[in-house]
Amino acid sequence: MTSFQPPADRIWWNTPVGKDEILWIGIALVWCLIMFFMMPYWHVYGKQNLSTEAYQTTPKKFLASVDAMVEKYQTGEEKGIPIVSPPAGSDVYLAARLWSWYPILELEKDKSYRLHLSSLDWQHGFSLQPVNINLQVIPGYEMVINITPDQSGDFAVVCNEFCGIGHHTMLGKIIVKE
């Protein structure tokens, strides 16, 4: 008999299930239940998943917010990109655009900030290294995360979503001061 021919016994559901099959179905069911309960646990107690807020916006509105923050808190410049040092507890904005992150953020260690991310053109990926925080940055949406840097140093912001020919040059920086 092949799979192209109908089964000889048309009432297949009356065929008894073998012990091996019952064992594997049981193992699969137990594993599914473990994973079902672990996902909410990992979200609440794990450090790998950030709770985010998302709002609809336009690239023009988001850029206006970024420019207002830069104008208010700019403390320097590096390779033509402004460095901003907003006060602790404030809203900080980081814009993704072909092929750069704008501006460079200078934050204080152990202080909390609300980080707003959005793209001005294409879909980008926000990857903070070496911390390994990953988010999708999509035009028309503003992602907001609460961050509290617990280490000082320079952290690279890498685009991990292919965004065109200059994708490999899309690097940004977040500086965390003591």
Does 15 reside within a domain? no
Residue 158 sits in a domain whose CATH number is 2.60.40.420
Does 37 reside within a domain? no
* Segment 100-118 mean pLDDT: 94
Q: How many domains does the chain have?
A: 1
pTM: 0.74
Residue 144 has pLDDT above 90, yes or no: yes
Q: Judge if the upstream peptide bond of residue 130 is cis by omega within 30 degrees of 0.
A: yes
Q: Return d(Cα 64, Cα 141) in angstroms, integer.
A: 15
- What pLDDT is stored for residue 44 in this prediction? 78
Instruction: Name the residue range of residue 167's domain.
Output: 52-177
Does 170 reside within a domain? yes
Higher pLDDT: 14 or 105? It is 105
Helix/strand/coil (H, E, C) string of 65-103? HHHHHHHHHEEEEECCEEEECCCCCCEEEEEEECCEEEC
Does 168 reside within a domain? yes
Does 118 reside within a domain? yes
Does 117 reside within a domain? yes
Does 19 reside within a domain? no
157 with 171: CB under 8 angstroms?
A: yes
- What pLDDT is stored for residue 93 in this prediction? 96
Give 2's pLDDT tier (boundaries 50, 70, 90): low
40-93 confidence digits (pLDDT tens): 888 777 766 677 889 999 999 999 999 999 999 999 999 889 999 999 999 999
105 with 94: CB under 8 angstroms?
A: yes
pLDDT, averaged across the chain: 89
